[in-house]
A and B are shown apart, each in its own frame.
Chain A
Amino acid sequence: MSEARRRNEIRFYLNDELVEARNFSPDLTLLDYLRIEKRLTGTKEGCAEGDCGACTVLVGRLSGDNLIYETVNSCIRFLGTLDGCHVVSVEHLSGSDGKLNPVQQAMVEMHGSQCGFCTPGIVMSLYALWMQNPAPSVGDVEEALQGNLCRCTGYAPIVKAAMLAAERGGQAADVLVAHRVDMREKLRALRDGLRVEVVSEKGQLFIPADLDDFAELYEEVQGATLVAGSTDVGLWVTKFMRDIEPVIFIGAIEDLHKWVESEGAVTLGAGVTYSEFLPFVDERIPQLSAFWRRIGGQQVRNMGTIGGNIANGSPIGDTPPALIALGAAITLRKGGERRFLPLESYFLEYGKQDRKLGEFVEMITVPLPDPDSRYAVYKISKRRDEDISSVCGAFNIKIEDGLVTFARIAFGGMAATPKRADAVEAALTGRPWSEDTIVAGKAAFAEDFRPISDMRASADYRLMAAQNLLERFYRESLGEEVSLTREAAE
């Protein structure tokens, strides 16, 4: 790509200000930028790994022609990913006159803060909810707060504050809502279709102009670290202090955010975030709806991508088992060449995937569940929400005339990679859908898996729980009520 097609700075809005940044490290986080360089200290560091939410800010970005605002963890979000975005920190919410916005006001009145350190992050999460959902349920509020830890209040007053703010409304007068059209135009004006290349003594970072530009670029700088949502790579920097440059930020490539449905399958770009895909999940794969909402917290779902969850090959990623059980395949691309791979074949061993130098995960093709099959995904973790699975099991089983005619079962947390349960599938297939078959299926787990003990769970528990998930699946197929549902407790 010629020099003329390049830009050597990033441009974004921070609250009211246009920022043009060109001399910064590729691994500079948004949080450090806000706190250290801008001295906007309302945003806090609690964990630097995207788990506590004290650093929550809003990022507005163009999605097609719309401007959408999402909560993100600024601690693991790299500054370089903000080109063309509008960053909103807590300082922006109350006007220059110090008047609190309705969410803040409700938090004060409901006694939603004690030590106050988590509070700016909580305010940002509630603010995003308030803008987007004028009449939330308690469940919606809890979902919006999945990525925010509070150690003092026990959350009850915070939930009440969210409900009070919703009741009071007032969104039309809000600073972001009022200026939304204006900001959308400003962000549109920043779109110039150029490749961004920022080179400083601190390293190199690239933002490709589009998908083809990315394919070309990745051939040029083959050792580059690819960063989409940074929910994983962010921690390489903040926790392990790994050197990630040169970096290619691919989170803003529009083609990677698209999906199409055809012939009983959906093909989605690797950059589709969990949040973006949620409406599709709810409509077309409702079996995944509850599970999808237990992946990370809201901020992580806003940032993290399905392609990233696959590409990094984690043995405890939540989407691979769910997608493997559906028979998903991925498209790997290098330059102009593409190859297709069943998803389970991509995972070779711990930390090793079938991805060649210069190759990247471009698309994922997911067959939709067969309406005549039963499909379910279960996640077991110490804490219900925003936790990493100790065991994640996905079952896709077809029963015809009382016989199992098809079984695809995959597990995470049970081996060094996400893995199909071949022996269990074999123990079920062709057998009558009965308790005896389930007993045989449970016994086969020990052939498929030798899980490890770690801080999340013991090997014994993992194996037993995995076996029992098959039983849960069976009992559910008989119409038994075997799962806990939070709503039922009301």
Chain B
Amino acid sequence: MSGVVHKPLPHESAHKHVSGRATYTDDIVEPTGLLHAYLGLSTRAHARVTGIDLDPVRNAPGVIDIITLADVPGHTDISPVGAHDEPLFATDEVMFWGQPLFAVIAETRDQARRAARLARVTYDDLPAAISIDEAEAAGGELVTAPLTLERGNVEKAFKSAPNIIEGEMEIGGQEHFYLEGHIAMAEPGEDGDMLVHSSTQHPSEIQHMVAHVLGVNSAAVTVKVRRMGGGFGGKETQGSLFACVAALAARRLGRAVKIRPDRDDDMSGTGKRHDFKARYKLGFDNKGRVLAVDATFAARGGMSADLTGPVTDRALFHADNAYYYPAVLLKSKPLRTNTVSNTAYRGFGGPQGLIGGERFMEEIAYSLGMDPLDVRKANFYGTEDRNVTPYHQKVTDNIIERVVEELEASSDYRKRRQAIVDFNAKGGVIRKGIALTPVKFGISFTATFYNQAGALIHVYRDGSIHLNHGGTEMGQGLNMKVAQVVADVFGVGLDQISITATQTDKVPNTSATAASSGSDLNGKAAQNAARKIRSRLVKFAAKRFKVKERDVRFANGFVLAGDEELSFADLCDKAYFARVQLSATGFYKTPNIHWDREKGMGRPFFYFAYGASVSEVSVDLLTGEYQVDRVDILHDVGKSLNPAIDLGQVEGAFVQGMGWLTTEELVWDDKGQLRTHAPSTYKIPLASDVPRQFNVQLAEWSVNPERSIKRSKAVGEPPFMLAVSVVEALSMAVASVAGYRVCPRLDVPATPERVLMTAERLRREAGA
């Protein structure tokens, strides 16, 4: 074989990225007569709208039209889960600060943007629940049905537990901060057709939503996306609003319409990672083994369901991380709040559940005076026994012990920890901390029907290959990986493969590119399509050259049929004249998964991905400022389809996770307005926040025991949670002020302020 899979090849668009020639939605050549839409947003968190005067908007320079809910010809609701709780525009009541009330369409974007601010809206304020605490105090209305996971006899286990700890943890949300914000451009066609360019992870959903809103068949709507400038889950459902507005305006006016919110409106008006409050009770023995866990994960859902249900489900699915809980009761509490509806974000609730589980380990360690790593090891899932999760799936592919042991050795964890304990004993202003934390992450959409994918491949007479699949490219290198798989099937170089925009008229009914599943699903579907064509070519070649089918081989752009050697292009040309079909669709559905949500039982995950990290930090106890000095990572991606892309995913995910847990703080004021709605106030990591010593390795020995695409494993989300070791290292540095006798309960994001205030609290508690 030519061997293009498992190779560290650059991103398919890298040369275009660096030269500014990669086309994003806002860069597409604009159709003549293009108009621009902009949204008018509410300035109350919860209120009755008593009056709305749009005349000043209408009379503003360049304004062509205004759209309100009354102007929607089809369905007026864009809830992605059919909850009917997300009107395209608010009418009588606004449910969060930043909710769209209308759209204005003007000749230029600047005109539309200026006009949108001129609406005169009057409100009658209603009680608003902004935070989790406020929502609970107001009665705790749920935005979607909660989940319970239960296994073993929790009550009994607590009764016999020698140690019990109760506590709670605040876990912050996160803004995606994709560098390219939301955007859509709609071009009307004949017979009610609509072409929508959208920066979306889920073109099929955009298609269906636009069709609903326009009141036309799905077949009339085509959605196209070549690439996104980042998604991270923020473009799984949140693009519908913009696509629908552009399409509505385009339909009404018979002209192309583009809409692109500015960064502030994007951040205020679209959903984020859910913040959580975890409340827990732990029972454990004197060796640090968990006996019982009872925990509730309450989340700020926002004003509508959106994906809060599956997100809070996944928090519970990962509250065990890599640990066996003999008796466990986990409950989710998806709260309705008067904030923007929270949504998918890399890890999809998993990180929030997982960091809760890691807090459990920390509590036990500080309580017993143990190295937290020893507590973790004592609780790892077994391979033969102690291997059943709270959702009753057996962990059969467990490699966490090997991963952790290798990392522990390669990072010199024990020696460094001792050196840090000695350093801290000197009692200076600067304290250090170190922590090793593991990750086990379940791969598959928990909504089982989502685990399907399609692809479309055309091979032309010159041997060039047009590749299309249902996944979307947002930087993760999906297109490259799928192209590698297809090139491998045909034994050709990547230069023969044309990577094309994702388009709903090529591959229908696709799933969101989400849940780390992109290459697992689309790689398999494309492989399926390619194999269909190859097998036709094989049959043809065998017949033509009178050899056995198994003697036809594809490699290095050539085809060998017995003694005959010809180029792939030559074979394709010959096949064409022999009337062989050189186009095929492919399909894949993940086998052997099922999930009964009512019972909280099943096998929701095809397999698990594993990893571990060690972080070392220094903390200034006068100000709470800190820096991450060194990070070592060992991560499992199975047999990597592309080690360079996977390494990039691991490093990038770690840094993004580190941002979530350190400097990225979402602050709403008491009126419910988000105050951190731009990079001036919302601080994602910079190059100078990345540890100078950053040793990242893939577990090269790992092979997915399941028949995944080329035995690789999903990589998008799992490494995000490697960043938990940063928080635990900070926690250790803080704990040094009280002789490591008290669990610091450092909540996240651990901003310098939080670090300092936690240290002060610990000093007080230790002194008292």
Contacts and interface: CB of A to CB of B under 8 A. Distances in A.
B756 interface: yes
Contact of A91 (B8, B11, B20, B688): B20
Interface in B558-582: none
Contacts of B629: 489
Given A52-B679, A151-B176, A156-B690, 15 more contacts: A104-B18, A104-B19, A107-B17, A108-B18, A115-B227, A116-B17, A117-B179, A146-B686, A152-B648, A384-B627, A385-B689, A388-B680, A482-B428, A489-B692, A490-B692
B641 to A, nearest CB: 14
Given A461-B756, A465-B623, A51 B679 contact: yes
Interface of B: 8, 10-11, 13-24, 26-27, 29, 110, 113-114, 117, 176-181, 227-232, 262-264, 428-430, 474-477, 618, 620, 622-627, 629-630, 644-645, 647-648, 651-656, 663, 665, 667, 675-676, 678-681, 683-694, 696, 751-753, 756-757, 760
Q: Residue among B10, B675, B686, B760 with the most chain A CB within 10 A?
A: B686
A146 B688 contact: yes
A239 B113 CA distance: 11
Interface string A129-144: 0000000001001110
A172 interface: no
Contact of A119 (B18, B653, B687, B756): B18
Contacts of B656: 151, 154
B179 A54 contact: yes
**CB-based closest 10 A-B pairs:** A42-B20, A115-B475, A117-B229, A116-B17, A154-B655, A114-B475, A51-B679, A90-B20, A41-B27, A489-B629
B432 to A, nearest CB: 10
Contact of B687 (A91, A145, A456): A145
A486 interface: yes
A248 to B, nearest CB: 23
A113 B18 CA distance: 8
Interface of A: 32, 35, 39-49, 51-52, 54, 89-91, 93-94, 98, 100, 103-105, 107-109, 111-120, 123, 138, 141-143, 145-146, 148-159, 238-239, 241, 380-388, 390, 454-458, 460-461, 464-465, 468-469, 471-472, 475, 480-484, 486, 488-490
Contacts of A380: 623, 625, 752
A48 B760 CA distance: 39
Contacts of A100: 15, 18-19
A114 B18 contact: no
Q: Residue among B17, B18, B114 with the most chain A CB within 10 A?
A: B18
Given A380-B623, A484-B626, A149 B686 contact: yes
A465 B625 CA distance: 10
Contact of B753 (A108, A114, A239, A461): A461
Given A49-B680, A115-B229, A383 B689 contact: yes
B689 A111 contact: no
Contacts of A484: 430, 618, 620, 625-627
A465 B10 contact: no
A471 B692 CA distance: 29
A108 B179 contact: no
Given A382-B752, A385-B688, A455-B681, A109 B429 contact: no
A472 B679 contact: no
A154 B652 contact: yes
Contact of A155 (B16, B679, B687): B687
Given A90-B19, A107-B14, A150 B683 contact: no
B651 A153 contact: yes
Nearest to A294: B688
The DSSP consensus for interface residues of chain B is: loop
Contacts of A114: 11, 475-477, 648, 652
Nearest to A154: B655
Nearest to B15: A108
A143 B686 CA distance: 10
Given A49-B680, A239-B264, A457-B753, A42 B10 contact: no
A115 B19 contact: no
Nearest to B228: A115
A117 B18 contact: no
B716 to A, nearest CB: 11
Contact of A241 (B117, B428, B693): B117
Nearest to B656: A151
Contacts, number: 275
A285 B220 CA distance: 68
B691 to A, nearest CB: 7
Contacts of B10: 108-109, 111
Nearest to A466: B623
B11 A47 contact: no
Given A111-B11, A119-B18, A151-B178, A472 B623 contact: yes
Contacts of B630: 489
A460 B757 CA distance: 9
Given A116-B475, A475-B429, A484-B627, A152 B652 contact: yes
Contact of B179 (A151, A464, A488): A151
28 contacts: A41-B27, A43-B20, A46-B181, A49-B679, A52-B679, A104-B19, A112-B18, A115-B227, A115-B228, A115-B474, A115-B475, A116-B14, A119-B17, A142-B688, A143-B688, A145-B687, A146-B688, A151-B684, A153-B648, A155-B685, A157-B651, A239-B678, A241-B114, A386-B686, A388-B680, A460-B757, A482-B428, A482-B620
A380 B688 CA distance: 15
Given A42-B19, A100-B15, A384-B689, A486 B475 contact: no
A139 B620 CA distance: 21
Contacts of A155: 655, 685-687, 690
A480 B428 contact: yes
A123 B474 CA distance: 19
Contacts of B648: 111, 114, 152-154, 157
B38 to A, nearest CB: 12
Contacts of A109: 10
A250 B655 CA distance: 40
A9 B230 CA distance: 40
A98 B14 contact: no
A116 B428 contact: no
B760 A464 contact: yes
Contacts of B18: 100, 103-105, 107-108, 112-113, 119-120, 123
Contacts of B685: 154-155, 383
Contacts of A472: 429, 622-623
Contacts of B113: 241
Contacts of A146: 686-688
Contacts of A159: 687, 690
B276 to A, nearest CB: 20
A69 B29 CA distance: 30
Contacts of A116: 11, 13-14, 16-17, 22, 227, 229, 475
Contacts of B23: 41
Nearest to A91: B20
Contact of A382 (B19, B683, B760): B683
Contacts of B231: 115
A49 B693 CA distance: 32
Q: Residue among A100, A239, A383, A456 with the most chain B CB within 10 A?
A: A383
Nearest to B751: A382
Given A114-B476, A380-B623, A145 B652 contact: no
A475 B429 CA distance: 9
Contacts of B694: 156
Contacts of A458: 753
Contacts of B676: 455
A184 to B, nearest CB: 25
Contacts of A154: 648, 651-656, 685, 690
A102 to B, nearest CB: 11
A488 B228 CA distance: 38
B385 to A, nearest CB: 38
Nearest to A162: B687
